[in-house]
Structure 1
Amino acid sequence: MKNSFTRRFMYEVLSNIKFIKYGIKNPKSLKCENMLSPLTGRFWSYRYQDVCGIESDKYLSEPYFYNKLEAKVNDFDLNKFLDHKGYISNILNSNTILSIANCISGTIYDGNNDVIELNDLIVLLEQSEPNVEFVIKRSIGTGGGNGVEIGSANHVVPFLKNYFNAKYDFVIQPVIMQHDGLAIFNPSSINTVRVMTFAYNGNVFPVSTVLRMGNGGRIDNSAAGGISIGVDNTGKLRDFAIDHDFKKYYQHPGTSIKFSDGYFIPYFNELLKLVKDKHKFLKSHGIISWDLTVDNSGKMSIIEYNAGWGEINFHQANNGPIFENHIKHISCINK
């Protein structure tokens, strides 16, 4: 039911009720305008601009984004396949993270795509050096960091057994290296570059970029306690980050790094070119959200992408009305 009409309709009703209550508590929001959602959109506009400081009537409310844009330009019948982590390398062909093991429908395949037995995989992992770490994650349904574990073989193997016995599809991958310019904010997590791309009329537009950072833990997702910070069109980080509740941070709460000191995403233009090129492999979908990283040598990796329910809130709260230059096209979609 994840992408059903019923779920989306109920989501829209409940979200708008929540924001109408927010608007009542914040009377100034009644003076705001929203071009695409004139009635309830004003409350969303006020919430976003109250955080990022950019006034505009061209914000997309969260329900509008999911039900009037994403649902119109993405073929959700394909999502279960496209979002399956075991198939990402097959779909994108390059710049993905090679798997040590890939379990699909109860069969485990090794890095050479040969079948390997569970006990042999366990032995393989346990023979690794004690300081070698792995990532195990379920192939479907890891939103918010759920179903993702990082650690040595001793930590990962119990989850491997549980996932296999529960008949989950999953992948096991090495922990990849990240550029020093990304690791500096929270060294214990892979701090990923999230880019949203919007494709139409044969063109691919990177509409927003944020850097997601862990906050003392291994996961950078905001639902797991991480924070995100906006990135401008030159690759420079903005002066503040936000958490899941839109609380603002002018320095990293763990490492005390001041964001206003002028930090940039390394290889920013190259990362944007990569996702523009790779979006063309996903022609059935107009909107894709990409999780990326790059190492010190410039090697770029696509950790995963989201073909549906790609988070919009932290993009607009960090970067403002990210679809401002595409409102005319979006309006035509809903005529």
Structure 2
Amino acid sequence: MAVKTVVRKSLSSVQRTAHQVVHAILLQSKIRRIRRHIDPARISAVKADKGFMRSSEAFLRRHFPPRRDLSWHVAYAAASGIRDAMYIPENAFYLHLEPRVNPRATALLYSDKNMYDNLFAGAAVPTTLGRIINGRFFSKDYQLISAAELLEELRSSGDHVVVKPSVESGGGRNVQILSPGQLEGFLADGLGASAGENLLFQKLLRQHEALAGFHPASLNTLRIVTFWLRRGVVVISAVLRMGVKNAQVDNQAAGGISCGVAEDGRLKRFAYDKHFRQYSEHPTTRRAFAGFKVPSYAEACSLAVSLHRRLPACGMVSWDVAIDTEGSPVLIESNLRYQEINFLQLNNGPLFGRHTDEVLSMM
């Protein structure tokens, strides 16, 4: 038994190391692609700032030894104009920080959106109409039903239905909005027959008209990041995410943009896309960002903080929160793995801001 345990642990260690090596290579390729979209003159100006470069290198050597690659620092500073040594490089975050604050097994346990009605009971979430869990059909209250009964439940809403994978749906992958007439064909295609199928069916949420004004076709959501410090849970960063070009999702990975939100709930001057390109107005609707007051921002932050307190095993959570037509915050998703930090640092500066020393001292 002891030998088997040693072998199992050795294999696990080799797999983790291989995963880290592959991930590191992919991230290096990613930063090279990003830098091609940034004005070379701005990159040169940042590199010429010896004070910034020295302090950035000292920061990395102190907290992430022997790391000295300043590629991410240079990209963030050149694109945003914010020169701050406390930026967290993506490779340091994904390979070292995130796995420590949110252990993989714990993150996977809490990431299934089909469990939100239990995990976050009492909180506002989009109305659940039905589920597919491990290939089986369930009602909104977790009763096992037939495909015909699920179809009846979905049609009962009389409205469009949002269908999303309940696990691994980051970046808006495979999220669909179906009209009542499309539901039967969707289920008839054999979805759910696979033993691994996990889907969540929800009533389409209508958003606040002020947020719809930026891009009506997508549900434009707040990404609110909370961290569990020694004194409790706090909001460390927030942005408003918006779709573009009539896309139905607002995710940056799917082409969307994001704009930083100040502590008073007002949008900052610029938004950014995944290529670090800067916008002073929405590229589709031409609506300016600066000074726009996000409705119910304080309430949305309070929701995120209160829900994080239900996840004591997770140090950091990125919450996607919508504001409905009545001005109430509604939880769309909690993100515990691959939380995406680039748009946060482009818009708001270093990920942990004034909490950086405390956060890193807890690692």
Superposed CA deviations along residues 42-86 of structure 1, whole A, max 9, x for unmatched, are 221121122222111010001112223211111211222211110
Please say which of residues 35-44 and 237-246 is displaced more in the overlay: 35-44
> Displacement, 1:280?
0.7
Which of 327, 344, 355 is 1:298 aligned to? 327
Structure 1 partner of 2:86: 58
State TM-score, norm by structure 1: 0.90
- Give the aligned residue type for 1:29: K
CA distance in 1, matches of 2:318, 2:241: 13
> Displacement, 1:165?
2.5
CA distance in 2, matches of 1:22, 1:150: 31
> Displacement, 1:147?
1.8
CA distance in 2, matches of 1:116, 1:315: 42
CA distance in 2, matches of 1:21, 1:227: 18
Distance 1:305 1:117, change over 3 A: same
Unaligned runs of 5+ in 2: 1-11, 62-66
CA distance in 2, matches of 1:63, 1:242: 20
SS in 1 for 2:325: coil
**Alignment partner of 1:270 is 2:278:** no
Structure 2 partner of 1:243: 273
- Whether the 8 Å contact between 2:137 and 2:192 is mirrored in structure 1 is no
State TM-score, norm by structure 2: 0.83
Superposed CA deviations along residues 132-155 of structure 1, whole A, max 9, x for unmatched, are 211001111112211210120333
CA distance in 2, matches of 1:183, 1:18: 32
SS in 1 for 2:340: coil
- Give the aligned residue type for 2:140: G
> Displacement, 1:208?
0.7
Structure 1 partner of 2:9: none
- Whether the 8 Å contact between 1:36 and 1:60 is mirrored in structure 2 is no
Unaligned runs of 5+ in 1: none
Please say which of residues 281-290 and 38-47 is displaced more in the overlay: 38-47
Which of 112, 118, 122 is 1:90 aligned to? 118
SS in 1 for 2:248: coil
Distance 1:21 1:301, change over 3 A: closer
> Displacement, 1:21?
8.9
Please say which of residues 25-34 and 174-183 is displaced more in the overlay: 25-34
Which of 160, 174, 177 is 1:150 aligned to? 177
CA distance in 2, matches of 1:162, 1:23: 43
Q: What does residue range 164-243 of structure 1 map to in structure 2 within 5 Å? A: 164-167=192-195, 168-215=197-244, 216-243=246-273
How many correspondences in the alignment? Answer: 330
Structure 2 partner of 1:332: 361
> Displacement, 1:110?
1.4
CA distance in 2, matches of 1:311, 1:179: 25
Please say which of residues 213-222 and 97-106 is displaced more in the overlay: 97-106
Structure 1 partner of 2:20: 8
- Whether the 8 Å contact between 2:235 and 2:301 is mirrored in structure 1 is yes
- Give the aligned residue type for 1:235: G
Please say which of residues 117-126 and 247-256 is displaced more in the overlay: 117-126
**Alignment partner of 1:37 is 2:67:** no
Please say which of residues 209-218 and 14-23 is displaced more in the overlay: 14-23
**Alignment partner of 1:319 is 2:331:** no
- Whether the 8 Å contact between 1:107 and 1:115 is mirrored in structure 2 is yes
- Give the aligned residue type for 1:88: Y
CA distance in 1, matches of 2:190, 2:174: 11
Question: How high is the sequence identity, in percent, across the aligned residues?
Answer: 31
Superposed CA deviations along residues 224-271 of structure 1, whole A, max 9, x for unmatched, are 2211111111111111111111111111111111223x2111111111
Distance 1:211 1:100, change over 3 A: same
